Structure 1
Amino acid sequence: MMALPSHWRRPLAVLVVAWLALAALYYPTGAAMVEIWNRSETFAHAWVVPPLSVWLVWRLRGELAVLVPQSSPMWLVALLPLGALWLLGDLASANAATQFALVGMGVVLVPAVLGSPIASRVMFPLGFLFFAVPFGDFLTPWLVERTADFTVLAVRATGIPVFREGTQFVIPTGSWSVVQACSGIRYLMASVMVGTLFAYLNYQSNRKRWAFVGVSVVTPLVANWLRAYMIVMLGHLSGNRLAVGVDHIIYGWVFFGIIMLAMFMMGARWADPDPVQRTTTVPEQGARVNGSRWAPLTWVAALVLLAVPALWRMHTAEVIDHAQAPVLQPAKLAGWQWQPVPLTGWEPHYVNPAARLHGHWVADADGATVGLYVGYYRHQTYGRQLVTSVNRLVNDEEFTPWAQTSSGVTNLGDQAWRTAELRGQALSQVSGDGSGALRLRALHVYWVGGRYFVSDWQAKLYGAWQQFLGHGDDAAAVVVYANKATVGPDDRLLRDFLRQHGAMLEQQLQATRAAAGRASQ
């Protein structure tokens, strides 16, 4: 076992201290990342990323031992945008932004403390660390749609009639649904991580490496589509005795494992021979200390730049332990009577709002009904924020008697609203005339600091900017909905309702914001 060269001891100790300081200053960010590794099967592979990065560096220990660590102050500049990214992400409660910034700061410390020549030798192991960031959930809806597209197309090509609605479809032997667990995001994340590592270890040409990474992206997508088709066909041909329940998960992983094994076996056929090890010598003492005059100043500056964003955030964060929760009251609308019970058994899936209002109005004139849901968020933090991948109209990760069958965006004057159609799947969720499953039409939008958004990232950024300006983080999900049989063409009932009473709803949200602000002072 190689002993640590003397000229490496102090710089390496400084790097370890800097990493420990980074971990201490940004502990909540790191803890949130580890929590996702623990609870999400999609990102369970991230547990092996740090050990693999260490092993990749260890493989290069012979080459690194003879290099002279020399601090590179120019790399300190990179800590400024990374700190700003972390601060913006923390204000917006955006896990991906804070976690990418955290890993980025840890990576930048290497060239800042040890120097660019050393960092260039370990560039891949450092970059590989970014696979530890749980990122990519935003692809899930797109992957679900593409899986449903391929499965329905393939089943029809087989000669089986299919009726499709959204991501659900019916064939003569039963009904199927493509949910988030069928998206293939787990396969994709694991394949890209392992494929990138395989390409680095087996190829010397960057062209070959990028080509194999591309294969590792395309292969799990196609494999997941074939897996979904195979499961439907197994169920169909076996009279729904095979590939149902937990069986289809087992079959899916077995099929995916076979495909991945074939991919790596094929890739190994074009592997390059290992490079010839370089002959190096230990530098002279004078070279070891050359350029070290500015090192202590660089080390101190790095620690200061690391601390500024975290300490600034600690100083400006609101004290919310004893803050009073906002109280939502329905607006008083002329010609409508408020009923404090939901219009149906459906409720939007918004997690941990600070306050919630769900009921419906009944028109005095004709008895028309319009449902309203408001999930109000204040003092947002991780697990209690408005814009997140788990907040949606229907939670398809668990069994629910409701499904969202369509979505879109429409303009109401100069304001955009999201549209959605929902269908009750349980026998209890039937239309009033007994003709079939109850269907709802919904218009929904984000209300953030007095402005409306249909875009997730725009709502996130504006909320972070409001916090940065000291205006608070009040935000809400606003959903108006009605029975599809009563809304008329082009959602006329909901549109007319919002044109007439949208200003009153806005005033009520503003009043809630003002009252909660006064109570917290």
Structure 2
Amino acid sequence: MNREDNYSRGWRQSILAFVALFICVLFLFRNTFWGMVSIWLRSETFTHGFFVAPIVFWLVWRQRELISEKIPQVNFWFLIPLLTVIFFWSLGDLAFVNSATQLCAVALLVLLVPAIFGWSVASIIIFPLFFLFFSVPLGEFLFPQLMEWTANFTVFALRLSGVPVYREGLQFVIPSGNWSVVEACSGVRYLIASLTVGTLFAYLNYQSFHRRVIFVLISIIVPIFANWIRAYLIVMLGHFSGNKLAVGVDHIIYGWLFFGLVIILMFMVGVRWAEPSRVLTISADRRKIPPEVFYTIPLIALSCLTVVIISLPYLAEKFVYSKNSLHISRSEAPLILNTGWSLTPESSCAELKPIFKNTSIELNNCYTSNSDNVGLYIGYYHRQSYEKKLVSSDNVLVASNDRHWAPVGLTSGQAEAGSVRFSVKATELRNTTADGQLTDARLLVWQVYWINGMLTKSDYLAKIYSVMQRLLGQRDDSAVIILYTEKKNDGKSILLLNNFLNNNFDIVDEYLKNGF
């Protein structure tokens, strides 16, 4: 067999092995990939995910001639990062963190390229491989910070324009009406769209690394500032038009038109510094190709080891979950507290319904003592999954577009339950009317996570505690405990909630430990 035949044979076998392992990863991690697709389908923020794979294929196809000059060689060293990615995927799966498992699943596909074809081939298409990560629906964690920044800038710009503003949290009032910053105003959609398209633009139009980095940074900064200006202009349009413009569907339409104009201008400016593509020199022959460029045995060995590595999570799953599958009986009997606190009709407390989805059991009671009312909400989770989990971006105290309550302050509070002291999320809510008008009614809300007996206010620690419990073979029972009462300026609200905990936390804790 001559050198040319060895070359063609090597490529055929490498491509066959890659396709087989690619399909294997898609099959073994099908739930993870389907989770990505389902988010693309339901969220306009991540619809661009459908276009990432075709773009990657096109980018690789553009380099086909240069790739064809390389010799595929298996690289066993990439089994180490492959094993590392599998480890982190397993941790993400134990904590039911979609973004972690999805990033790791995409990383597995990317690592197959240098492992099967070698670094010489992978280095040619390093950007297309990197671009594949844009398919991961990631960015919702930016909502709170971007909403805060948008509110800060809008209020600042309004005051600079001579418009008086009264602000509480993400709500603000101007003479012509009330406004609030919600998720759609955060600019996350603009930021993700700009970063995706801007990164691709930089790769196609620039050759130097520093120009590419600068343009990517610009594609991050510009949409953030543009969104601030968009929010300010929309409020001003509503203000000067007597709330006839930019307050309904046209609010969204004006936003996208403005964003589209900004992106076009950004690209027009970027093109002025475009660099011509480098001319690739391809040799006319392959005299440097050794007589034996490929070995079947190493490829088979690498493929088998890869299959073993990507199958490890399912072996671990059986080991961990088998210990975590104990059935527990649940009681739906009412929660009876200590003497002095009696269960009363829910109408005695302010109407507050936290949004915690797919709970195993849910309780929302009102208790009274000496004419003082305290609301107690418990969202209890057992045998958690990706669809049914305690800590999730979908689980919130109140939605940003809630018609009854608006958060106007978030701090950290210290709670006492006998000898036990722990931190809680302390949120102040202000009541709104059906037409969005603020009222004077306020609630003080304390929130804490209960993870099989451990308490924390942190979303991240709650995830870590949950993973620890599952790794130790313990139950994954978790709950959110929320206390709320009417906010009083003399500080009695804090004393009331602490008094409630001191008298009743042991009962609530035992109630949860017994399976609720």
Superposition deviation, residue 311 in structure 1:
3.9
CA displacement 1:331-350 (0-9 Å, x = unmatched): 42121112363622221111
* Corresponding residue for residue 475 of structure 1: 478
Give the 3-state SS of the residue equivalent to 1:512 in structure 2.
coil
CA contact (8 A) 1:325 1:354 kept: no
Give the 3-state SS of the residue equivalent to 1:375 in structure 2.
strand
* Corresponding residue for residue 302 of structure 2: 298
Distance 1:379 1:42, change over 3 A: same
* Corresponding residue for residue 192 of structure 1: 195
Superposition deviation, residue 324 in structure 1:
6.1
* Further displaced range: 335-344 or 105-114: 335-344
Matched, 1:348 2:350: no
Name the amino acid aligned to 1:104.
Answer: A
- In structure 2, C-alpha distance between the alignment counterparts of 1:337 and 1:43, rounded to whole Å: 48
Matched, 1:392 2:396: yes
Distance 1:205 1:359, change over 3 A: same
* Further displaced range: 486-495 or 34-43: 486-495
CA displacement 1:248-277 (0-9 Å, x = unmatched): 100000000000000111111101111011
CA displacement 1:314-345 (0-9 Å, x = unmatched): 56436979986664641421211123636222
- In structure 1, C-alpha distance between the alignment counterparts of 2:45 and 2:333, rounded to whole Å: 37
- In structure 2, C-alpha distance between the alignment counterparts of 1:172 and 1:282, rounded to whole Å: 77
Superposition deviation, residue 501 in structure 1:
2.5
Superposition deviation, residue 289 in structure 1:
2.4
Give the 3-state SS of the residue equivalent to 2:488 in structure 1.
helix
* Further displaced range: 313-322 or 204-213: 313-322
CA contact (8 A) 1:408 1:419 kept: yes
Name the amino acid aligned to 2:362.
Answer: R
* Corresponding residue for residue 336 of structure 1: 341
Name the amino acid aligned to 2:41.
Answer: N
Name the amino acid aligned to 1:379.
Answer: R
- In structure 2, C-alpha distance between the alignment counterparts of 1:339 and 1:78, rounded to whole Å: 58
CA contact (8 A) 2:432 2:439 kept: no
- In structure 1, C-alpha distance between the alignment counterparts of 2:257 and 2:435, rounded to whole Å: 38
Matched, 1:368 2:372: yes
* Further displaced range: 159-168 or 421-430: 421-430
- In structure 2, C-alpha distance between the alignment counterparts of 1:130 and 1:170, rounded to whole Å: 41
Distance 1:331 1:36, change over 3 A: same
CA contact (8 A) 2:194 2:223 kept: yes
Superposition deviation, residue 209 in structure 1:
0.8
Name the amino acid aligned to 1:360.
Answer: C
- In structure 2, C-alpha distance between the alignment counterparts of 1:167 and 1:512, rounded to whole Å: 38
* Corresponding residue for residue 289 of structure 1: 293
- In structure 1, C-alpha distance between the alignment counterparts of 2:189 and 2:326, rounded to whole Å: 37
- In structure 2, C-alpha distance between the alignment counterparts of 1:427 and 1:192, rounded to whole Å: 38
CA contact (8 A) 2:403 2:434 kept: no
* Corresponding residue for residue 265 of structure 2: 262
Correspondences of 1:177-256 after superposition (within 5 Å)? 177-256=180-259
CA displacement 1:332-390 (0-9 Å, x = unmatched): 21211123636222211111100011111111xx2211110000011111121110111
**Aligned match for 1:170, one of 165, 169, 173:** 173
* Corresponding residue for residue 102 of structure 1: 105
- In structure 2, C-alpha distance between the alignment counterparts of 1:462 and 1:420, rounded to whole Å: 23
* Corresponding residue for residue 416 of structure 1: 423
- In structure 2, C-alpha distance between the alignment counterparts of 1:262 and 1:446, rounded to whole Å: 47
Name the amino acid aligned to 1:362.
Answer: T
CA contact (8 A) 1:14 1:113 kept: yes
**Aligned match for 2:135, one of 132, 136, 146:** 132
Matched, 1:54 2:57: yes
Name the amino acid aligned to 1:117.
Answer: S
Correspondences of 1:59-70 after superposition (within 5 Å)? 59-70=62-73
* Corresponding residue for residue 358 of structure 1: 364
TM-score, with normalisation over the residues of structure 1?
A: 0.92
Distance 1:11 1:282, change over 3 A: farther
CA contact (8 A) 1:328 1:357 kept: no
CA contact (8 A) 2:328 2:515 kept: no
CA contact (8 A) 1:66 1:282 kept: no
* Corresponding residue for residue 519 of structure 1: none
- In structure 2, C-alpha distance between the alignment counterparts of 1:61 and 1:381, rounded to whole Å: 42
Superposition deviation, residue 37 in structure 1:
0.7
CA contact (8 A) 1:446 1:476 kept: yes
Report the RMSD for the aligned CA atoms in angstroms. 2.3
Name the amino acid aligned to 1:417.
Answer: V
Distance 1:372 1:287, change over 3 A: farther
Matched, 1:91 2:94: yes
Structure 1 portions without partners, runs of 5+: 514-521
- In structure 2, C-alpha distance between the alignment counterparts of 1:5 and 1:250, rounded to whole Å: 54
**Aligned match for 2:456, one of 442, 453, 456:** 453
Superposition deviation, residue 399 in structure 1:
4.6
CA displacement 1:382-416 (0-9 Å, x = unmatched): 121110111110012x5532211111112235411
- In structure 2, C-alpha distance between the alignment counterparts of 1:325 and 1:272, rounded to whole Å: 67
Distance 1:426 1:294, change over 3 A: same
CA contact (8 A) 1:386 1:476 kept: yes
Aligned identity (percent) is 41
- In structure 1, C-alpha distance between the alignment counterparts of 2:293 and 2:16, rounded to whole Å: 16
* Corresponding residue for residue 407 of structure 1: 410
* Corresponding residue for residue 80 of structure 1: 83
Superposition deviation, residue 437 in structure 1:
3.9
CA displacement 1:426-461 (0-9 Å, x = unmatched): 26999xxxx944211011011112111111111112
Distance 1:74 1:7, change over 3 A: same
Name the amino acid aligned to 1:192.
Answer: L
Give the 3-state SS of the residue equivalent to 2:386 in structure 1.
coil
CA contact (8 A) 2:433 2:439 kept: no
* Further displaced range: 305-314 or 443-452: 305-314
Distance 1:428 1:368, change over 3 A: farther
CA contact (8 A) 2:485 2:493 kept: no
TM-score, with normalisation over the residues of structure 2?
A: 0.93
- In structure 2, C-alpha distance between the alignment counterparts of 1:5 and 1:38, rounded to whole Å: 41
CA contact (8 A) 1:487 1:493 kept: no
Distance 1:264 1:360, change over 3 A: same
Give the 3-state SS of the residue equivalent to 2:216 in structure 1.
helix
Structure 2 portions without partners, runs of 5+: 1-6
CA displacement 1:278-334 (0-9 Å, x = unmatched): 223454564552565422111111111111113432564369799866646414212
- In structure 1, C-alpha distance between the alignment counterparts of 2:291 and 2:229, rounded to whole Å: 59
* Corresponding residue for residue 384 of structure 2: 380
Matched, 1:485 2:478: no
CA displacement 1:484-506 (0-9 Å, x = unmatched): 13883572211222233322222
